[in-house]
Amino acid sequence: MKNLRLVYIEEDIERTAKQFLALVGKNKHFAFYGAMGAGKTTFIKALCNVIGTEDLVSSPTFAIINEYSANSGEPIYHFDFYRIKSPTELFDIGFHEYLSDSGYCFIEWPEKANELIDDFLKVKIKEIKGGKRVLTFAV
């Protein structure tokens, strides 16, 4: 496994999202770790734009999940676990059924249910000086 790091500014976010998707290959399940305001939702929006969707991409903080449709017809699932109190809450919304689909799956605040996402590619986002952000992940 190789550790990778991408540094970007918001103006280059879609270029970075394209680069990220090229580096991760066929992987479609991603867990995004980072502090509040680190840019998790913003980067997921950029990924969805690169994948291609006409849907409005927004944080699913209150809904727990937003579902988008890629232009190819493939589903994109965007989870936000911030408000869950226990991983068992995810069984109530059918979390495992979403994973059995062939679509993309992006999770914010995955540390709330790490035991359910062992096979997800873990991506850390951190804001650094000058409005830059750093993505670190291993492929």
Q: Is residue 15 part of a domain?
A: no
Q: Is residue 20 part of a domain?
A: no
The mean predicted confidence, pLDDT, of the chain is: 93
Q: Is residue 3 part of a domain?
A: no
pLDDT digits (tens, 9 = 90+) for 55-106: 889 888 888 999 999 999 999 999 999 999 998 899 888 898 888 778 999 9
CA 78 vs CA 6, 24, 61, 119: distances in Å: 22, 18, 10, 16
| pLDDT band with cut points at 50, 70 and 90 for residue 137 | very high
Distance, in Å, from the CA atom of 35 to the CA atom of 40, rounded to the nearest integer, reads: 9
Residue 63's CB: how many other CB atoms inside 10 A? 14
Higher pLDDT, 88 or 45: 45
Residue 103's domain is classified under what CATH number? 3.40.50.300
Across 11-21, average pLDDT: 97
Higher pLDDT, 63 or 108: 108
Residue 116 CA, chain-centre distance (Å), reads: 15
Q: Is residue 91 part of a domain?
A: yes
CA 81 vs CA 49, 90, 103, 115, 119: distances in Å: 22, 9, 19, 13, 17
- 3 state SS of 53: strand
What domain range includes position 74?
27-122
pLDDT at 61: 80
Please state the domain count of the chain.
1
Q: Is residue 38 part of a domain?
A: yes
Q: Is residue 93 part of a domain?
A: yes
Q: Is residue 51 part of a domain?
A: yes
Residue bearing tokens 């999940």: 65
Q: Is residue 12 part of a domain?
A: no
